[in-house]
Structure 1
């Protein structure tokens, strides 16, 4: 299993034209609680199943295991998911030697845009572009699994 270290930010005034690439992501959660999540996702034309462990106290890191599976299997597994799906466009934006993943949500989470950056250590330095807003790392209401239970439209 790999250790995922990431920081999450709200996004202000994002211009998709700065992205290197983009993909539509549709994902659902077979299981989600504070200790682990089991997610299935279609990203572009590929399918994945992902298991994530509990976040550390700061929300900076957690264990993650992911495997590519056929899109047809994801479509079947989405029928087992808790309460619908998350639908978003993910834009990959290079900033120096890092890539920000900027998620522009639609559906019940329309109006929410967040950016995540994966790091190799919790104290790694990174450039914050001017379109980044408030840091929300560790704020559980921004976790995709919890956006299923309490979508942005209800805030």
Structure 2
């Protein structure tokens, strides 16, 4: 498979809990992904001035990151892919309501494995680039 600029994708993760945010990033990391993590949606949106995203994973937590923060997102970003990952304390989310507001590709996943698979399938439908394992240069000494 010939690698092109379209092979490399940018994923933003928004989660106010540092440990959970880092764990999620480690779970979905892949050679062709550029991951950026944020504690708040405004921090994430400010970064889009410099670097657009292909997928945004938004962890919903009661009182910290709620669906209203996503709904306030500018319309020009609503055509991107979104994965909502509700924490156990988060209120229920209506995907139909979000789609009515212009979010074309929005999905819900509360499981880490499902989030990773959704991420890969949305970014590379049907043809994910290989994730080569880099050998340890000290292994042969």
Structure with the larger RCO, 1 or 2 (CA within 8 Å, 6+ apart): 1
TM-score above 0.5: no
Larger Rg belongs to: 2
Using the size of structure 1 for normalisation, the TM-score is 0.27
Q: Which structure shows the higher strand fraction?
A: 1
Q: Which structure shows the higher helix fraction?
A: 2
Using the size of structure 2 for normalisation, the TM-score is 0.29
